[in-house]
Amino acid sequence: MLLGLAGSLFEEQTSLQKLVQLMMSHAREYLHCRRIALYVLAPPDGEITAGFENVNEAPLETRLLCNEQLRDSPFGALARYVSSKRQVIRINGISDYSDCCAELARLLRSVAVPVNQFLSVPIYNAHSAVVGVVQLLNKVVDCY
């Protein structure tokens, strides 16, 4: 699967959105999550300049998030939190978030969908500046 992804990445170089869509759809399938999002930040202030989202309900579609979604959504707020704190957030299992700091607990409670698993990781450039944040939400449980 990784070789297939690498080959696809070298073939697809027409636009950033198509490249991100390809990477995110492969990553979501490989990681079996309901939602994967990528937020692009502009160093040094860490302002979110673009966002991409791929959700389970639209398997082949990666959406470019609009400015309002970047600014007002709880996921955008979580991306800004991860960027500013430069830390990974990992939630496993249903929690009341009492083990989190108050600011993070408030942000997690503002998410409209139930959060069973959540992973948010900062992406660094060669100069150790945060240039992005990737988020994975809720593992898909296959029933056989």
Higher pLDDT, 89 or 112: 89
Burial tier of 53 (Cβ tally within 10 Å: 0-12, 13-18, 19+): buried
- Count Cβ atoms below 10 Å from residue 13 Cβ, excluding itself: 9
123 contacts 39 by C-beta, under 8 angstroms: no
pLDDT at position 59 is: 54
The structural domains of the chain, with segments of one domain joined by +, span 2-139
39 DSSP β-pair partners: 51, 133
Three-class HEC string of 29-43: HHHCEEEEEEEEEEC
Q: Average the pLDDT over each of 24-33, 44-53, 105-114 and give the range with the smallest value.
A: 24-33
Per the structure block, which two tokens stand in for 80? 């800004």
Q: What are phi and psi of 57, to 5 degrees?
A: -70, -20
Which class is domain 2-139?
alpha beta
pLDDT at 44 exceeding the cut of 60: yes
30 contacts 137 by C-beta, under 8 angstroms: no
pLDDT at 76 exceeding the cut of 60: yes
